[in-house]
């Protein structure tokens, strides 16, 4: 499933229900969708942040009652692991440096992340640019709102260390225009950039809202 088990080294409790399920169900390969959904949901929903023992017991009971299977339907019956609009919004509104933002970016990039490379969270539109003078065409109220959103997931992306170093505080439009056509296509695909959006700062609102919608849709798919 491309998910590195080493990512759970500091949260190994997440793996215990899967080990239990695999031990009692030799046909566990038939439940890969459920396993993947289970691996991702507790991390992004911070399920084991408290009450770990009781929650592990609850998972054990649910697996027993579900014919020793972990399925998406089983997870949807659990209020703490059910996908809701509110939980999607919490993930999308997570900020740079938080574990949820880092894990969300990782899961969003599963199709292209190279485990041999080191990636870093970076802002697409530079964080510091919002501390400077606002564009003339932007109202002060809009500018304040943009500043409050600049550190959230729709303005974040994982960049490989060297790419991150070269971008640094470069404006997004300049960073994009510095690429060749192949690099531009790859960047837009990996970063889930909506078609037709402008990379100029004065259109940040349109960029942010359209990418937010795209990330929300993709996140729903990932969560099963």
Q: What is the pTM of this model?
A: 0.88
pLDDT in tens, 18-58: 999 999 999 999 999 999 999 999 999 999 888 999 999 99
Paired sense of beta strands 156-160 and 119-123, if any: antiparallel
Nearest to 122 by CA among 78, 76, 168, 85: 168
Domain ranges of the chain: 12-82, 108-222
pLDDT of residue 121 exceeding 80: yes
pLDDT in tens, 58-116: 999 999 999 999 999 999 999 999 999 999 999 999 999 999 999 999 999 999 998 88
């Amino acid at each position: 499933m491309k998910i590195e088990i080493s990512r759970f080294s500091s949260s190994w409790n997440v793996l215990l229900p899967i080990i239990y399920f695999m031990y009692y169900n030799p046909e566990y390969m038939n439940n890969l969708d459920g396993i993947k959904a289970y691996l991702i949901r507790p991390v992004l929903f911070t399920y084991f942040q408290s009450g770990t023992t009781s929650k592990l017991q609850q998972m054990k009971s649910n697996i027993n009652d579900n014919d020793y299977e972990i399925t998406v339907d089983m997870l949807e019956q659990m209020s703490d692991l059910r996908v809701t609009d509110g939980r999607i919004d919490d993930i999308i509104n997570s900020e740079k440096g938080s574990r949820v933002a880092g894990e969300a970016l990782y899961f969003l990039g599963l199709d292209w992340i190279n485990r041999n490379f080191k990636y870093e969270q970076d802002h697409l539109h530079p964080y510091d640019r919002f501390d400077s003078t606002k564009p003339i065409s932007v109202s002060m109220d809009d500018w304040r709102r943009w500043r409050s959103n600049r550190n959230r997931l729709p303005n974040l992306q994982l960049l490989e260390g060297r790419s991150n170093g070269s971008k640094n505080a470069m404006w997004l439009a300049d960073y994009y225009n510095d690429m060749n056509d192949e690099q531009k296509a790859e960047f837009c695909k990996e970063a889930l950039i909506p078609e037709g959006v402008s990379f100029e700062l004065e259109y940040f609102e349109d960029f942010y809202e359209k990418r937010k919608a795209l990330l929300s849709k993709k996140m729903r798919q990932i969560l099963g």
